[in-house]
Amino acid sequence: MKRTILTLSMAIALLAANGQQKQGRVVYERTVQLRMGPGDMEQMMPRSHKDKLEVLFGNDQSVRRGIEDNTQEEMTAESGGARHVYLMIDGNNDLTYANFATGRTVEQREFGARNYIVADSIRKLNWKLTGETRTILNYPCQQAVAQRIGKRMSIAMENGELKNKEVADSMKITVWFTLAIPVPAGPEYEGQLPGLILAIDVNDGKVVYQAVELSPTVELGDIKEPSKGKKITPEEFVKEREKVMKDMQGNRGRKGATIRIGG
């Protein structure tokens, strides 16, 4: 792996001099590692889950959406009675729109059989260029790293009952982006780096995005702000999600748990 020295200001200067492709479509494969504590629940869980999504970009905008039938899976283990784990993946109607000119994102989220529209500003992390380089799909890429402090959903056993709990989480994020395509699009962290993101690694393989196809051909009419759903703030969506998850947990009884990937 080559190592070069490149500052963010140098990267932006290179974009101005060498910018070429400004629109296209990227297909990413996403791999999520699934882990639980020791016991029979761990034995029934798959080690990982894979799916695919696409990012369309052009006209200083991008849209991310799923391209596979992401449905709910149920797994069951027997240990003094059946226990169920429900693995939920982003709904087929979920998508993320970003407008790089205005610094705005709009998410269409399907949750609890309802659609929501969640608008927010692009919140940038403190990215650092490492100087590492690699080639992805024949495009030279630079490595950038950042730390993100946030929250995540965790499964815990309390009094014999599996529960979803939100816990504090610190994420180490590594991305590879290419200056050959001077568009700040990607499967996550769009609008934050001076080039198309082709790979992401969160927490040393916990979540990995890898570009597997890249084409300059795209339907620009598909890159538009979503409007199907109830408009709520990011804070309101978190509360609504917690309520729906609690209701789902209650409906499935003491021997069920739900894991959601991608939201």
Give the residue extent of every domain in the chain: 8-261
Q: What is the DSSP letter of 222?
A: G
* Strand-strand pairing, 114-121 and 230-232: parallel
Its sign, for the CA torsion 141, 145, 150, 156, is: positive
First to last CA, the chain: 33
d(CA 57, CA 223) in angstroms, rounded, equals: 7
Is 189 a residue whose pLDDT tops 80?
Answer: yes
- pLDDT at res. 102: 97
| Mean pLDDT across the chain | 79
% of the chain surpassing 70 pLDDT? 65
Query: How does residue 8 score in pLDDT terms, banded at 50, 70 and 90?
Result: low
Mean pLDDT calculated for residue range 225-246: 86
Q: What is the pTM of this model?
A: 0.76
